[in-house]
Amino acid sequence: MEKATFGGGCFWGVEVAFRQIPGVTATQVGYMGGSLKNPTYKDVCTDRTGHAEVVEVTFDPAKVSYEDVLKVFWTCHDPTQMNRQGPDVGTQYRSVIFYHTPEQQAAAEASKQELERAGAFKRPIVTAILPATEFWRAEEYHQQYLEKRGLASCHLK
């Protein structure tokens, strides 16, 4: 199994998108990229910890490639919005790929460059590509939030 970590705005809708992929064996939402140890949702919402809301994706590379997981990331949010998605504003909602290996870094950078070359979006892609840092699991009520409420999605594009 491999791990991949993505921030694409509010983690509830992003998690749903990744859970749909055959070969994804688990997801969990949490926080990455900030300075505070063991942050809470309340801490992260202050926009002062530096964390992004992220989804950690566990997948079987024999069943789904990292490149295919990346494709879902690029389509489940708007990677041209800086520090926001729809009405959600703040650095915790930034578009970011946290890579776990040099191969993931290379694949993420290549996919971003290809989308930019192809003019896939009307505005420039602002997604950061950064090394993964410590993942802090979000509170239990955030895990599979939409599924627990019988909702299919909440993302805005």
Does residue 35 come out as left (phi exceeding 0), alpha (psi in the -120 to 50 range) or beta?
A: alpha
- Judged on CB neighbours under 10 Å (0-12, 13-18, 19+), 150 is exposed
Catalytic residue at 10? Answer: yes
Rounded Cα distance between 52 and 62, Å, is 29
Which neighbouring-strand residues pair with 128? 96
Tokens of 97: 């790929």
Q: Strand locations in the chain, DSSP E?
A: 2-8, 24-32, 52-59, 84-85, 88-89, 95-99, 128-131, 136-137
Q: Identify the active-site residue in 10, 45, 76, 154.
A: 10
Residues 121 and 81: beta-carbon distance below 8 Å: no
Tokens of 135: 């993942």
Active-site residue numbers? 10
